Amino acid sequence: MPEFKIHHLTKYTYPAPVRDSANQIILYPIQDEWQEVTKQEIHVSGDPVIDTFIDYYGNKVGSFTYSEPHSALLIDSKILVQTKHKPLPGNDIFPAQQWEDLKLLRHIVPYIDFLRLEHFEGFDDLKSLVETEKSKEDTPYQAVLRFSRYVYDNFRYIKGVTSVETTMDEIWRLKAGVCQDFAHILTLMLRLVGIPARYVSGYICTHRSATMRGEGATHAWVEAYIPDYGWMGIDPTNNCIANETHIRLAVGRNFSDCSPVKGVYKGTSDHRLDVSVNVGYEDDAPSMNQPTEFISTPEHTEYKPLSNIPKNSYQRYLEMLQQQQQQQQ
């Protein structure tokens, strides 16, 4: 049973003091029979009181306010967590029976939210693609693997090309993005064939000799509901089953339900976000107190001044094209 040590630092810096920073954090790993948190410490600049509650999807959520003027905000989370391997689904039920079982969930809470479709300009194209790719012989489990492979093979993993505000239209046009975009596409594909699918945020804790996309930041993947089994994790960014090396922080319909850090503040619209995630096995991970090298990963965090909501990179690209077209007319 592996035990992982995770050190997650989030740092905001501002060119001028800001105030009345109201924040929500989902940095508390899910606890169940497959995942147990043995220790956790969370420290925030200014030492505000962190109130916690359980949201609709069962996630533990913290909230705090930092009212005093400040030029930086640091959220420091240290976790020790143990995981267990979850056996994979079997194929001892005829595929037709499994698909019939899934149809019964369409009007049952909480599966309704995880079957809801998001319509966008490319919806019909995606629907046609799903119809073409699916196989009548597949069980739901096999269909999940098939669509994960499709996303992995046909979408490019490119950091910085999208943001938390990138729409499904933009992801579909780009055919590229990061883990959250891969997860959003896969959840929609699975819902189109009647498989409940939910978005998951968390961390990748790879084997000592392995490397995977999404390390060094929070990660995102999908959980699909399999009849007579339950929720199965699938990581389309790496095309693998999400099991004992994937630490779950939260589940929801999409990124908005699971954002590790989100908040608003009063002050300058300019700010810098730096995030560092160090992960290792308990017996060989670096000390949590050692100096940390930050990396910029804004695609995993929502944090905005009250007076300004920034545009994402694709929107800026479209505006540039429109301006060029206008100049040529």
CATH number reported for the structural domain that contains residue 240 in this entry:
3.10.620.30
Q: Are residues 178 and 106 in the same domain?
A: yes
Residue 281 is predicted with a pLDDT of 73
Q: Are residues 41 and 60 in the same domain?
A: yes
Helix (H) or strand (E) holding 143: helix 140-154
Give Cα 178 distance to the centre of its chain: 10
Residue 80 near residue 38, CB atoms below 8 Å: yes
Q: Are residues 239 and 286 in the same domain?
A: no
Domain assignment present for 49: yes
Asked if pLDDT for residue 304 goes beyond 80, the answer is no
Q: Are residues 186 and 243 in the same domain?
A: yes
Domain assignment present for 99: yes
Scan for tokens 């993993």, then name that residue: 157
Domain assignment present for 321: no
Q: Are residues 134 and 29 in the same domain?
A: no
Q: Which of 253, 272, 292 is the last residue of a domain?
A: 253
Q: Which of 253, 272, 304 is the last residue of a domain?
A: 253
Q: Are residues 100 and 247 in the same domain?
A: yes
CA dist 107 to 58, 116, 253, Å? 20, 11, 16
Burial of 268 (0-12, 13-18, 19+ CB in 10 A): middle
Residue 214 is predicted with a pLDDT of 66
Residue 284 is predicted with a pLDDT of 54
The amino acid present at 45, given as its one-letter code, is S
Q: 147 vs 209, which has greater pLDDT?
A: 147
Residue 282 is predicted with a pLDDT of 64
Domain assignment present for 88: no
Domain assignment present for 185: yes
* DSSP assignment string, 33-44: TTEEEEEEEEEE
Q: Are residues 175 and 308 in the same domain?
A: no
Tally of CA atoms within 13 A in the half-sphere of 196 that contains its CB: 25
pLDDT digit string, tens, across residues 124-147: 999 999 999 999 899 999 999 999
| CATH number of domain containing 308 | 2.60.40.2250
Domain span including residue 164: 95-253
pLDDT digit string, tens, across residues 21-43: 999 999 999 999 999 999 999 99
Residue 207's contacts (CB-CB under 8 Å, 6 or more residues apart) are: 245
pLDDT > 70: what percent of the chain?
Answer: 82
Domain assignment present for 329: no
Q: Are residues 118 and 55 in the same domain?
A: no
Q: Which of 233, 253, 273 is the last residue of a domain?
A: 253
Distance CA 156, CA 205 (A): 22
Q: Are residues 249 and 131 in the same domain?
A: yes
Closest by CA to 1, choosing from 83, 79, 80, 88, is 83
Residue 299 is predicted with a pLDDT of 39
Q: Are residues 99 and 247 in the same domain?
A: yes
Q: Are residues 104 and 248 in the same domain?
A: yes
Q: Please, which pLDDT band fits residue 10 given cuts at 50, 70 and 90?
A: very high
Domain assignment present for 322: no
Distance CA 187, CA 181 (A): 10
Structural domain count of the chain = 2
pLDDT > 90: what percent of the chain?
Answer: 70
Residue 213 is predicted with a pLDDT of 81
Q: Please, which pLDDT band fits residue 2 given cuts at 50, 70 and 90?
A: confident
Q: Are residues 71 and 104 in the same domain?
A: no
Domain assignment present for 50: yes
- Range of lowest pLDDT (75-84, 146-155, 161-170, 290-299): 290-299
Beta bridge partners of 44: 75
